[in-house]
Amino acid sequence: MRKYVILSVLLILLLSASGQDLHFSQFYNTPLTTNPANTGFLPNSDYRIGAHYREQNSSLPSTYKTTSVYGDFQFLRNKFRSGWMGVGGVILQDAAGGNTLVSNKFYSSIAYHQMLGEEGLLSLGFNLGFANKRLNTETLRFGDQWNALSKDFNLPSGENLTQLNPSFGYFDIQAGLNYAYFPTQNIYLHFGISLHHLNRPREQFFQNSSTVDTRIKPRSIFFADAMIKMNDQVILSPGVYYTRQAKSAELVAGMHVNYNLSGDGDQQLIAGIYMRPGDAFIPSIGYQWRNFKFTFSYDATTSGLRNFNTSRGATEFYLQYDGLYTLMYANKQSFCPSFKN
């Protein structure tokens, strides 16, 4: 009976995953998927490369694995008055239900950033992507396959899958607007809003589904974060993330702290705590060495699902590298509080 309940929970999660976008708990480390206006918005560098890996519900029979690789850079800094362009790209893959449902997404994004006086920055960005989803029908199990004697799904199924297309793809469009405010060298505020699936692409596995609206529901994302330099040893970074798509919504809020280990900022310890109300408690730990940053977080489930996954929700690993065009843009301006003198 316990195995049957677990499989039912997995089926619900799989169906939910097919209708909702991918997400990471470390929203502050997913700039391009949070808002395309973040493309090329690099307060302390000229380009960056990041990689993200998330494994969810590892204690259950089938896991959910999400991988992301992205990069973006600034250009035309000397062509606009107090402004510049940003270009970037993201590759995402999500494998749900033990590779039963696999999503691959490829996005390219562009943004323009304009200084507003000496203390403000306005950013506008867009991205265009292509998504592909495929379903492995050989791993599907249905109710009429349940064998009560052997307690397994080993009976033949009467389901008709002849109208099922196991793979499909579509183009996708997003847009976003951000504003940053940095009144002093010790305070930095940043917030923005983005709209996803502006073209309402269709997402369907069945060939004949004219009676069902298979268009992806629009998704909105709002975020706000800050950096506050307390002293030469501590920088606080509170943040909040809210997204809504159809009747589903997600809120994540918390703060992480950078502690200066080396005195010059080349080595920093990163520790944080975030919360997804009603779902998970998310502690994180990380380390920054010069231009490299590594962060690990853990989702401790607080919802009713903890009875099945023993509170083991998800683990996330993130790696980032920031670089400078040393010779090309010697007049690079830093907006964020920093341990560097």
- Domain ranges for the chain: 2-323
Superfamily name and number for 2-323:
monomeric porin ompg (2.40.160.40)
pLDDT value of position 67: 95
SS3 label, residue 120: strand
pLDDT value of position 308: 62
pLDDT value of position 58: 61
φ, ψ at 234 (rounded to 5°): -135, 130
pLDDT value of position 80: 73
pLDDT value of position 15: 41
pLDDT value of position 14: 41
pLDDT value of position 213: 79
Residue type at position 241: Y
pLDDT value of position 326: 62
10-residue mean pLDDT profile of the chain (341 residues): values are: 42 43 88 96 90 80 84 85 92 83 94 92 96 81 76 74 79 97 94 96 75 86 96 96 93 97 94 94 96 95 71 87 70 70 61
